Amino acid sequence: MTKLPKKIKIGNLIYKIREITDGTEEYFGKSSYAEQEIALTPELKGDKLMEVFLHSIIHPILIQGEYHEENRDEKLITLLANNLYQVLKDNKFIN
Ligand SMILES: [Zn+2]
Residue 80 CA to ligand 1 centre (angstroms): 11
Please tell me the distance between residue 59's alpha carbon and the centre of ligand 1 in angstroms: 7
Closest by CA to 31, choosing from 60, 9, 51, is: 60
Task: State the distance from the centre of ligand 1 to the C-alpha of 3, rounded, in angstroms.
Answer: 21
Break the chain into its structural domains and give their ranges. 7-90
pLDDT tens for 14-73 read 999 999 887 766 789 999 999 999 999 988 999 999 999 999 999 999 999 999 999 999
3-state SS track over 28-68 = CEEEECCCCEEEECCCCCHHHHHHHHHHHHHHHHHHHCCCH
| Residue 1 confidence class, pLDDT cut points 50, 70, 90 | very low
What's the 71 CA to ligand 1 centre distance in angstroms?
8
How far is 58 from 5, CA to CA, in rounded Å?
Answer: 17
pTM: predicted TM-score of the whole model, two decimal places: 0.90
The torsion angles phi and psi of 82, rounded to 5 degrees, stand at -65, -40
In this predicted model, which residue has the larger pLDDT, 21 or 83? Answer: 83
Ligand 1 (single-atom ion) residues, CB below 5 Å? 74
